[in-house]
Amino acid sequence: MEKHRPYRIIISGGGTGGHIYPAIAIANTLKAMNPETEMLFVGAKGRMEMQKVPEAGYNIIGLWISGIQRKLTVNNLSFPFKLISSLLRSGKIIRKFKPDVVIGVGGFASGPLLYRATRKGIPSLIQEQNSFPGITNKLLAKKVDKICVADDRMERFFPKEKIVITGNPVRKDIINAENKREEAQGFFNLKPGKKTVLVIGGSNGARTINHSILSGIETIIQAGVQVIWQTGKFYFEEVNESVKNHDISNFRILEFLKEMDLAYAAADVVISRAGALSISELCLVGKPVIFVPSPNVAEDHQTKNARALVDKSAAMLIKDQEAKTKLVEATLALINDNDRQVSLKENISKLARPDAAEKIATEILKLIN
């Protein structure tokens, strides 16, 4: 049916970059398809989406909502009040904005908004980034019309007839990152003849990865390997203090990496947590990677994410509790094993889905029409 006004779309969810950046990629793709599309984001007050979404140029409304803690806390006692408040607020947002479709990307805020939307019969879609879905998407699965996933084994969790395998949307600037290698080496002031390891632990950093690198820093220095090291904001000062008495001329230590395309381009081997967004990016850039999954996530889903690649000989995995003794040794072994690097690159590249955002946007438009 032909529309006589621009499409009106709500995207709800957030909490982490793994939810927010795919949401923004979907919004950018929808706007590229139809610049007159009106977008509204709904997030959780106090979470990072309240900053990142406006920075991307979109309006966002915050709900008073949070998750349930595994132990008895004051936050748990306030959860019923937050839920009621968020359901009422979601209803008002929907009545005022009058969306043609609502999209959930996971996280606390997507639950109340999509629940109210589906009760009103508004077309709805959720995008699940992980190999093991979060509780919000599990609860919403029976109510929504479509479920876009990145893993091909999600029939265990969602109704088969609703699933569309699309992959996870990623930032466009990392496509063809390998062609930027010379530019990247200049940007990070690296020597072209030396192997380079990229260490990433997310915007907040990964304590285990940082401490593992620190514990083996002299071994890395003696190996003559270059390191681009994103510590995260919580560990930046601690790391800089810890390396003061070492020769770190081959290290580029950064609190946050904005130029991820150049960081990937410069890297021969990557050490990373196993969030869904990181995995999708690494598949796209085709880099040999050692995953150190975070144990501090719901249902240990990062380990499940990483296992999906390890089972296809597309990545290596070191458990968080073993990283301090094994990570540096495994990294240096891989950086010196060209055959293993080539094999991992070939296998991880086969899993890339560069057109994920376009596929999801197409499914959204099908729901509207």
Q: Name the binding residues for UDP-N-acetyl-alpha-D-glucosamine.
A: 16-18, 130, 171, 203, 302
What 3-state class would DSSP assign to 115?
Answer: helix
- How many other β-carbons are positioned within 10 Å of the β-carbon of residue 75? 12
* Residue 87 β-bridge partners: none
In the block, tokens 């690159």 appear at: 345
Closest CA to 77 of 66, 88, 92: 66
Q: What is the DSSP letter of 123?
A: -
- Token pair for 83: 């839920």
Half-sphere exposure in the Cβ direction for 51 (13 Å, CA): 6
Q: In what order do the strands lie in the sheet with 316-317?
A: 251-254, 226-230, 196-200, 269-272, 289-291, 316-317
Residue ranges for the binding site? 16-18, 130, 171, 203, 302
Pairwise CA distance, residues 230 & 201, whole Å: 7
Three-state SS string across 303-337, please? HHHHHHHHCCCCCEECCHHHHHHHHHHHHHHHHCC
As to burial, measured by CB atoms within 10 angstroms (0-12 exposed, 13-18 middle, 19+ buried), residue 223 is middle
| Distance from C-alpha of 83 to C-alpha of 76, rounded to nearest angstrom | 11
Q: Cα separation of 183 and 203, whole Å?
A: 23
* Among the listed residues 333, 259, 325, the one whose alpha carbon sits nearest the alpha carbon of residue 292: 325
Query: Pick from 263, 213, 264, 268: which is nearest to 235 by CA?
Result: 213
The residue type at 92:
K
DSSP state of 173: G
State phi, psi for 104 to the nearest 5 degrees.
Answer: -110, 135
